[in-house]
């Protein structure tokens, strides 16, 4: 677009009050010098559609050859503008008092442009293409130029209908344009415009910014690049090319794109049931992708740097993927989730290079949740937090990341079908809770310190590898990988004897494998009743997991109050029991007092004050099923006791004590 014509569009504008301007020559490097012209009515206030004929266009062009200032040549006001290169652009301005223009035949503008503008009032006009073509001003001003007077006017709307064809269509400066069933060779929209296309064919687009675009149906035979748009939506559109937006909310539904869809620094990217053959690339963006297919392709990000675009989420993006299909998903320095997705797995290299196909890559400090994901390839991750549940992959590979980033992996109800585990991150941790895990080379854990906890799952022996193998210079004993309350069992061993360590870990690269069978890790957490007693002499409530201790204290005069709650016999959260025998009553008699806490720091502090550490009293439920409330009596007596604490699973009891002046200290631990 010639910059002088752009100046006209922006400031015909700055100088116009209610009328078109006279002929104007723009001096190079100077602001437009605009001359006001007399208002001329060229429409005769027609109520029916005014026809635009070739004869009328030819008369306007002939008049422009000799005129020095603008003049009326019905149905136009004619302007001639000198451009930078010395050529002239003829502008045919329409009359805002005409409600509809209609093409009578194919129109050759012969280098001119039809300019729809409006005065300082709300205007709605219609252009009926009538099945014909408009072409001529494409290279300079556009065939149709729709613009407003720099925000002075409430609203201008142009409705284009009639299944015709337009060369270049430019909507500019707070206008609203609605086009239906037309073909547009080149479309431009900017500066607070609202453009709506329905069932249109667009063969090119450029200079989209600071506007709203809504497209329903039709086809775009072009790449689409839009930056700093107010909003963009496509519904049921075919795009033969790529779509890339920057700093733009993008909404797409039921669209088919032969290239890729990309968004950068864009909040509100929402795609529903779309297909992008070359994938999806989101950076510094937020959004939700529901359904659809994004197969992807190999791309050269920079010379020598070959990567893969399936779905790429990067650079602090936060994106949720639901029910999508693609070859590969990658998160880099990003957050998000993948739910119920089908990932076919990209194959890097050739068969001979023995490189596993990858379905998901998560690295660079990302934080991602995977649920119900089915990938034929590997989940490959490093230096990131990943929670996997209800999913299936060929394998899971955890490698060390550069810098201080460490992996934090949780695996639940997941199946590995071909590659198994390969864990190699000395800085990271992994918890395996449940699932079925098979790898041809077994399930291997290699690092100076293997910080892996196995709470459950079935580990199958590979063709050439162990069910569970530990490799490293400082090999931890296998039991260190066990979660509390778990055992290793041989699935085909009728006696269910615990496996010897030699069967399941690797030492110095030489390993002994099980010839057949599986290693099953099962949790044997059993419920245990917790007993409550009351000392009528001291006022202390006492809790114990021991039936013998409960009966013994009952025989000494303590009031037995029955079961208080159900605790697991093992968990990752112990409850420590402490005793203060330095407390004295007013007569100087020992008035011992017990305290219970899950906090090792609180335990250690009380021990430093003279309390006795009585070890682990019981365990808290890691599933946090039933809260045990902790309340404190600030009026409790005794120089060395921290005050009278009480613990109860009964919210009503807690509330009653609080009403009497006790302090509510929240939840102490949990029962089953």
Q: How confident is the model at residue 107 (pLDDT cuts 50, 70, 90)?
A: confident
Tell how far CA 95 is from the center of its chain: 49
Q: By mean pLDDT, which of 27-31, 54-58, 150-154, 638-642 is the weakest?
A: 27-31
What's the pLDDT at 629?
95
Three-state helix/strand/coil letters over 122-181: CEEEEEECCCCEEECCCCCCCCEEEECCCCCCCCEEEEEECCCEEEEEEEECCEEEEEEC
User: 3-state DSSP call for residue 247?
Assistant: coil
- Per the structure block, which two tokens stand in for 275? 């297909």
Q: pLDDT: is 18 or 315 the higher one?
A: 315
- What residues does 393 pair with on adjacent strands? 416
Contact (CB, 8 A) for 241 and 223: yes
What's the pLDDT at 153?
53
The Cβ of residue 159 has, within 10 Å, a number of other Cβ atoms equal to 16
User: What is the mean predicted confidence (pLDDT) over 443-459?
Assistant: 75
CA distance 333 to 401: 12
Give me the count of residues in the chain: 672
User: What is the mean predicted confidence (pLDDT) over 51-56?
Assistant: 92
> pLDDT tens across 326-355, in order?
988 999 999 999 999 998 765 544 343 434
pLDDT at 437 over 50: yes
- Predicted TM-score (pTM) of the model is 0.69
In 536-622, alpha helices (H):
547-555, 600-608
The Cβ of residue 169 has, within 10 Å, a number of other Cβ atoms equal to 27
Q: How confident is the model at residue 173 (pLDDT cuts 50, 70, 90)?
A: confident
Residue 18, phi then psi, degrees to nearest 5: -130, 10
Beta carbons within 8 Å of 59's beta carbon, 6+ residues apart: 73
What's the pLDDT at 362?
95
Percent of the chain with pLDDT over 90: 43
Q: Which range among 215-219, 396-400, 471-475, 576-580 has the greatest average pLDDT?
A: 215-219
- The vertex-590 CA angle with 589 and 593, nearest 5°, equals 140
Contact (CB, 8 A) for 368 and 347: no
H or E element at residue 15? helix 3-15
User: What is the mean predicted confidence (pLDDT) over 277-285?
Assistant: 95
What's the pLDDT at 654?
93
pLDDT at 617 over 60: yes
- The vertex-435 CA angle with 430 and 438, nearest 5°, equals 90
User: 3-state DSSP call for residue 406?
Assistant: coil
pLDDT at 502 over 60: no
The Cβ of residue 131 has, within 10 Å, a number of other Cβ atoms equal to 14
> pLDDT tens across 474-485, in order?
444 444 554 444
CA distance 302 to 657: 68
User: 3-state DSSP call for residue 250?
Assistant: strand
Mean pLDDT, the chain, rounded, equals: 79
What's the pLDDT at 270?
97
pLDDT at 500 over 60: no
pLDDT at 373 over 90: yes
DSSP string, 514-559: -SS-EEEEEE---EEEEEEEE-TTT--EEEES-HHHHHHHHHTTPE
Beta carbons within 8 Å of 227's beta carbon, 6+ residues apart: 208, 209, 245, 246, 247, 248
Q: How confident is the model at residue 540 (pLDDT cuts 50, 70, 90)?
A: confident
What's the pLDDT at 452?
81
Percent of the chain with pLDDT over 70: 75
Enter the DSSP assignment of 498: B
Contact (CB, 8 A) for 582 and 610: yes
H or E element at residue 669? strand 663-671
CA distance 140 to 589: 104
User: What is the mean predicted confidence (pLDDT) over 289-295?
Assistant: 95
From the list 87, 96, 180, 200, the residue with the least C-alpha distance to 137 is 87
- Per the structure block, which two tokens stand in for 478? 């296998």
User: 3-state DSSP call for residue 40?
Assistant: coil
pLDDT at 612 over 80: yes
CA distance 169 to 133: 12
């Amino acid at each position: 677009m010639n910059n002088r014509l752009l100046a006209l569009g922006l400031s015909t504008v700055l100088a116009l009050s209610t009328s078109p301007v006279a002929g104007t020559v723009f001096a190079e490097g100077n602001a437009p010098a605009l001359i006001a012209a007399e208002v001329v009515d060229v429409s005769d206030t027609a109520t029916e559609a005014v026809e635009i004929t070739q004869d009328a266009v030819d008369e306007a062009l002939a008049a422009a050859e000799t005129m020095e200032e603008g003049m009326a040549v019905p149905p136009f006001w004619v302007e001639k503008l000198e451009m930078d290169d010395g050529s002239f652009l003829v502008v045919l301005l329409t009359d805002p008092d005409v409600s509809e223009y209609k093409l009578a035949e194919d129109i050759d503008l012969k280098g001119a442009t039809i300019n729809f503008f409006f005065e300082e009032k709300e205007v709605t006009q219609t252009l009926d293409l009538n099945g014909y073509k408009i072409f001529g001003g494409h290279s300079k001003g556009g065939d149709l130029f729709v613009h407003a007077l720099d925000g002075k006017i409430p609203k201008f709307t142009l409705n284009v209908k009639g299944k015709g064809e337009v060369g270049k269509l430019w909507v500019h400066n707070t206008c609203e344009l609605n086009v239906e069933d037309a073909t547009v060779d080149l479309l431009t929209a900017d500066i607070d415009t609202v453009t709506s296309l329905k069932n249109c064919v667009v063969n090119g687009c450029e200079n989209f910014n600071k506007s709203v675009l809504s497209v329903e149906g039709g086809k775009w035979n072009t790449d689409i690049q839009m930056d700093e748009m107010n909003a963009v939506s496509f519904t049921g559109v075919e795009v033969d090319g790529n779509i890339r937006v920057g700093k733009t909310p993008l909404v797409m539904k039921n669209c088919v794109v032969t290239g890729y869809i990309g968004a950068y620094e864009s909040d509100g990217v929402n795609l529903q049931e779309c297909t992008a053959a070359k994938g999806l690339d989101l950076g510094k963006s937020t959004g939700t992708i529901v359904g659809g297919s994004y197969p992807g392709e190999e791309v050269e990000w920079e010379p020598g740097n070959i990567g893969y675009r399936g779905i790429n989420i990067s650079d602090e993006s936060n994106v949720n993927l639901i029910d999508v299909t693609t070859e590969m998903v990658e998160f880099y320095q990003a957050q998000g989730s993948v739910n119920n997705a089908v990932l076919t797995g990209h194959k890097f290299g050739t068969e001979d290079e023995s490189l596993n196909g990858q379905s998901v890559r998560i690295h660079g400090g990302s934080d991602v949740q995977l649920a119900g994901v089915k990938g034929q390839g590997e989940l490959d991750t490093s230096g990131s937090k990943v929670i996997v549940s209800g999913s299936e992959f060929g394998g899971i590979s955890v490698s060390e990341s550069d810098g201080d980033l460490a992996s934090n992996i949780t695996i639940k109800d997941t199946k590995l079908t071909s590659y198994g585990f390969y864990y190699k991150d000395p800085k990271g941790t992994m918890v395996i809770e449940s699932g079925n895990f098979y790898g041809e080379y077994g399930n291997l854990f290699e690092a100076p310190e293997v910080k892996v906890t196995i709470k459950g799952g079935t580990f199958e022996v590979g063709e050439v590898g162990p069910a569970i193998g530990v490799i490293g210079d400082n090999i931890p004993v296998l039991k260190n990988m066990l979660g509390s309350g778990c055992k290793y069992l041989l699935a085909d061993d009728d006696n269910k004897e615990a496996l010897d360590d030699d069967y399941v870990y690797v030492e110095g690269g030489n390993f002994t494998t099980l010839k057949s069978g599986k290693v099953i890790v099962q949790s044997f957490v059993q419920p245990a009743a917790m007993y409550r007693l009351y000392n009528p002499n001291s006022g202390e409530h006492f809790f114990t997991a021991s039936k013998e201790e409960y009966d013994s204290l009952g025989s000494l005069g303590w009031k037995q109050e029955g079961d208080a709650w159900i605790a697991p016999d093992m968990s990752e959260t112990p409850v420590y029991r402490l005793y203060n025998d330095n407390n004295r009553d007013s007569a100087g008699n020992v008035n011992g007092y017990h305290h219970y806490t899950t906090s090792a720091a609180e335990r250690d502090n009380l021990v430093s004050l003279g309390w006795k550490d009585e070890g682990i009293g019981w365990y808290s439920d890691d599933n946090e099923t039933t809260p045990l409330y902790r309340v404190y009596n600030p009026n409790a007596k005794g120089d060395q006791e921290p005050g009278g604490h009480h613990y109860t699973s009964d919210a009503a009891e807690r509330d009653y004590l609080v009403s009497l002046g006790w302090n509510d200290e929240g939840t102490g631990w949990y029962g089953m």
